[in-house]
A and B are shown apart, each in its own frame.
Chain A
Amino acid sequence: QSALTQPASVSGSPGQSITISCTGISSDVGDYKYVSWYQQHPGKVPKLMIYDVSNRPSGVSNRFSGSKSGSTASLTISGLQAEDEANYFCCSYIRSSRYVIFGGGTKLTVL
């Protein structure tokens, strides 16, 4: 099976910007607009932050943005705040087998 690879951890200071990458083997991420990102605080339910690569659901701060280049999708958080400290998961789709796949997750630490 294919995989979506994320860095295990990233960190940044309040006010700074960070980017979390999500790299797919073959063309999982490269061919589609179907990339989403989820934020999960410890012990809490995942929350949709970005869908279709770069769209924000209603209510999500515009400090969160998504993009894609080739086989790598990225989540950027600008103006880091303490409340952004959480785990972030990317998610995409393998068309050939109709298989939904999540990345391994990235722990964001706000220093």
Chain B
Amino acid sequence: QLQLQESGPGLVKPSETLSLTCTVSGGSISSSGYYWGWIRQPPGKGLEWIGTIYYSGSTYHNPSLKSRVTISVDTSKNQFSLKLSSVTATDTAVYYCARLDRVVVAGSFDYWGQGTLVTVSS
């Protein structure tokens, strides 16, 4: 059974960089059949797509976040990562990593991590 697990600091100071890693188990991130993505959800609010990556390193980002977002992949560790720079309180959210069900950015997110709450506060 495929499992995804987010990890990283739960508290980040304003203006600093948020860094999260998603570890994939039960399957290979290098599989040619899937994209991998990050989604976030501010407390009490809706879902927001952050970006998507393929094992080759090709990435797609939310235009509203693009200049602050870096998504990378480490196939040797079966992980992909998110960095979000210059964070503010509005970046406080539960961050999810997820698998897309095909090699299409428009694919559906069929497996999700449990999510990790990141709070931006001094």
Q: How large is the interface on B (under 10, 10 to 19, 20 to 34, 35 or more residues)?
A: 20 to 34
Cα distance, A92 to B96, chains bound together (Å)? 18
- Is there an interface contact between A103 and B115, defined as CB atoms closer than 8 Å? no
On whether A51 and B105 interact (CB within 8 A), knowing A45-B114, A102-B49, the answer reads no
Convert B29-67 into 0s and 1s, putting 1 for each residue whose CB lies closer than 8 angstroms to a CB of A: 000000001010000001111001000000010111000
Residue A24 at the B interface, CB < 8 A? Answer: no
- Is there an interface contact between A51 and B101, defined as CB atoms closer than 8 Å? yes
Question: B2-38: which have CB < 8 Å to A?
Answer: 37
Closest to A47 in B: B112
Size of A's binding interface in residues, CB under 8 A:
26
- Is there an interface contact between B112 and A98, defined as CB atoms closer than 8 Å? no
Chain B binding site: helix, strand, loop or mixed by DSSP?
A: loop
Residue A93 at the B interface, CB < 8 A? Answer: yes
On whether A46 and B49 interact (CB within 8 A), knowing A1-B63, A93-B106, A98-B105, the answer reads no
On whether A48 and B109 interact (CB within 8 A), knowing A1-B63, A97-B63, A99-B62, the answer reads yes
Smallest CB separation, A30 vs chain B (Å):
14
- One of B60, B101, B105, B109 near A46 (C-beta < 8 A): B109
Interface, chain A (partner B; CB < 8 A)? 1, 32, 34, 36, 38, 45-48, 51-52, 57, 89, 91-93, 95, 97-105
